[in-house]
Amino acid sequence: MTAIVLVHGLWADGSAWSETIAELRALGHEPVAAQLPLESLEGDVAAVRRLLSTVDGPVLLVGWSYGGAVITNAAVGQDHVKALSYIAAFAPEEGESVRDIAHRRPGSLLPQHLKVTEDGYSYIDRPAYGTVVAADADAERTALAGAVQKFPRLGIDAAPSGAPAWRDAPSHYLIATQDRALPAATQREMADRTGARATEWDTGHGPMYARPKELAAYLDGLTQGL
């Protein structure tokens, strides 16, 4: 069976996928989720490659939000990664950064709700976490996500991407049309330029919080034939 490897975004950790993992296991999969250090893009890519080295068989590599930039780089040279899945995610071109993409269009609520610590890390203001990330999800679930969010180092989003894996690997893109963190128009642009098979859902930035059962079914479908 195809292995499913899940990669979270900024201001989150691997537990973002908890409900999705449970649903995937019910479908017969044994997915694994990365825990990104969020100190540098290079370090996060290394963490995903380390995880990939522990997984056998063909792999569907899934990236959410910033995790899309990570898988874009981590999958390069990984022959057992047979397809990429971007979930409301960044899919940078070579030399492009997450920050470049994020600043392309207005509409994100992130800037007004980001807080910065004295030692140079950021977090989403906890009362606003659900509003920004998944307004259509259960408030208790997003409160939990906000409580366990990781603090990425400032500047991590400015790192330029390397040659993108999506040039060679089949890609799929789940566009969140009610996204308040990454405008849907930007997502459509990235899906188009990567040549991804795009699917649109009427949901916020974090469908793993709002629609985990449907997300698991979607990912299960992507594994067919790999």
Reported as a single tens digit per residue, the pLDDT across 167-184 is 999 999 999 999 999 999
- Bridge partners, 85 (sequence order): 62, 172
Total residues found in the chain within this entry: 226
Parse the chain into domains and list their residue ranges: 3-223
Q: Is the CB of residue 61 less than 8 Å from the CB of residue 83?
A: yes
The SS3 of residue 198 is strand
CA distance 6 to 181: 20
CA distance 27 to 25: 5
The SS3 of residue 162 is coil
Predicted local confidence at residue 225, as pLDDT: 87
**pLDDT band per the 50, 70, 90 thresholds, residue 1:** confident
Predicted local confidence at residue 178, as pLDDT: 98
pLDDT digits (tens, 9 = 90+) for 181-197: 999 999 999 999 999 99
| For the chain, percent of residues with pLDDT exceeding 90 | 99
* Mean pLDDT of the region 60-71: 99
Does 3.40.50.1820 match the CATH number of domain 3-223?
Answer: yes
Task: Report the predicted TM-score, pTM, of the whole model to 2 decimal places.
Answer: 0.98
pLDDT digits (tens, 9 = 90+) for 29-59: 999 999 999 999 999 999 999 999 999 989 9
